[in-house]
Amino acid sequence: KQEVTQIPAALSVPEGENLVLNCSFTDSAIYNLQWFRQDPGKGLTSLLLIQSSQREQTSGRLNASLDKSSGRSTLYIAASQPGDSATYLCAVPTGANNLFFGTGTRLTVIP
């Protein structure tokens, strides 16, 4: 059974700092991994989708990596800003064509 864990559960950093969010999954038979952002009480916004054949995917200040063999993905945020404050979730597809979500990391960027 797939388990997706995100550590840490919460993170506070000063503005301008570079940071890394971690995502671990137990079943490496995945064909992609997706990172989402969620603002309080709101829906999810897709940030990056990495195919299993890729090792990295970049969008602006965000860079996501995927290592299937070790069951890990990281989301790197460069030069963090207060507007980056949100909960970040990773998700992997299941065989039933839906997503299995991680527990999330709540990020606070302090001005």
Partner 1 sequence: KAGVTQTPRYLIKTRGQQVTLSCSPISGHRSVSWYQQTPGQGLQFLFEYFSETQRNKGNFPGRFSGRQFSNSRSEMNVSTLELGDSALYLCASRDTEKLFFGSGTQLSVL
User: Binding partner 1 by CB under 8 A: which of 49, 62, 68, 106?
Assistant: 49
5 binds partner 1 (CB under 8 A): no
d(CA 84, CA 17): 11
Q: How far is CA 73 from the centre of its chain?
A: 7
Regarding 89 and contact with partner 1 (CB under 8 A), the answer is yes
Which one of 14, 41, 60, 83 is in contact with partner 1 (CB under 8 A)?
41
Considering only 18, 46, 54, 59, the residue that binds partner 1 (CB under 8 A) is: 46
Residue among 1, 14, 43, 60 that touches partner 1 (CB under 8 A): 43
Examine residue 66 and tell whether it contacts partner 1 (CB under 8 A).
no
Closest CA to 58 of 46, 70, 49: 49
User: Does 100 sit near partner 1 (CB under 8 A)?
Assistant: yes
Q: Which is nearer to partner 1, 18 or 59 (CB)?
A: 59
Beta pairing, strands 86-93 & 32-38: antiparallel
Closest CA to 65 of 40, 48, 82: 48
d(CA 89, CA 37): 6
Residue with tokens 């064909």: 31
Residue numbers at the binding site for partner 1 (CB under 8 A) = 32, 34, 36, 41-46, 49, 89, 91, 93-94, 96-104
